[in-house]
Amino acid sequence: MSRLIFNHETLAKTLTYCLMHFTVAITVAYLLSQDWGIALSIGIIEPLVQTGFFNVHERSWNKAKTNYHRRVMDSGLPVCVR
């Protein structure tokens, strides 16, 4: 069950990050270039690549957190959960 929650949370975070990143990238590119064609080109390609890397990064952190908790639980040490 927790794996399903992590997957949905990661997907939601990735999608909202993507939308935010598109908005910022297109706006900054337009302000710098004053050309919608250039702004859309930069503002679409860069966020797509960055969003893919964000998803990998988020999944890696989730896996590391799960592995850490598993190791702590297996060692019998008390766990401080926030």
C-alpha 75: how far from its chain's center? 31
Radius of gyration of the chain (CA): 18
pLDDT digit string (tens) for 11-70?
Answer: 888 788 888 988 999 999 999 999 999 999 988 888 888 878 888 888 888 888 888 878
CB atoms within 10 A of CB 47: 21
pTM score over 0.75: no
- Contacting residues for 59 by C-beta, under 8 A, at least 6 apart: 10
